[in-house]
Amino acid sequence: MIRFRILETITAMGALLDLVVPVQCMGCGAWDTPLCQECSGIFDESPFDVSASLRVYLSNVWCLDWYEGALRNLVLALKHDQRVDPYPYLLRLGHALAKAPFLSRADDLAIVPAPPSWKRRLFGNKIGRPLALGIAAYLAKQGQQVKIQDVLYLPLRAHQAGRSGKGRTERLKEGVKCVGKVGPKVLLVDDVATTGATLKACARAIEEHGGQVVGAVVIAAAKPPVQIEDTSPHM
């Protein structure tokens, strides 16, 4: 009886919170829905290869779309919004990423999430493992042998928040650590790829422990800068 009343109280408080702070779409900001129909279209996107636009030596880096607009808003909400349960959305994003063509040939695959920063460990939502679970569930349904190995971590001294460029890259290079047995074939999983520094550091740590990184998948990747052709006359 007491447990039932507590549940009723929590439900009533949730409804009151929705009245005071109405729910908005995590992507576009539309009212009264956590994710509108249009923004939910990301779950049906086909992954595409962005390895050529990143400074990383991996031959396969696939994403669902560029890190901008509604998708950028969605990723940030899944990472930081404490009112959101990111788990079901990340599972569905994982299912979508698992359709990357190079994964259809993969078997006996270890799916390894990139390590979260210390700030997100303490205050944010967990992204990597639910995303990896979604990928693993989809591939297992196709009859492929997969497992999740959460073997990467970022020591406190290598905390990268607020850093960019060479400083961040160098700290990642020295900071990402791999513990335990990994592989033999590894798929890296992360939320966003910008320069590719995190993926490169993760791949290096895994390969130092004998694993072979066959590729990586991310929800979104930074859009490469537009190359402007020089049409001016040259002497």
* pLDDT on residue 125: 82
Q: Is the pLDDT of residue 144 over 60?
A: yes
How is 29-43 classified by DSSP, letter by letter? --BT-SS-TTGGGGG
pLDDT tens digit sequence for 74-102: 999 999 988 889 999 999 999 999 999 99
- Six token digits for residue 141: 């349904």
Average confidence score pLDDT of the chain: 84
What pTM value is reported for the model? 0.83
Q: Percentage of the chain surpassing pLDDT 70?
A: 77
Instruction: Give the fold, CATH level 3, of 21-221.
Output: Rossmann fold (3.40.50)
Tell me the C-alpha distance between 225 and 222, whole Å.
Answer: 9
Task: Tell me the average pLDDT across 119-126.
Answer: 72
Q: Are 153 and 138 contacting, i.e. CB atoms less than 8 angstroms apart? A: no
pLDDT tens digits, one per residue of 1-20:
454 454 344 334 444 445 55
- Is residue 229 within 8 A of residue 202, CB to CB? The reply is no
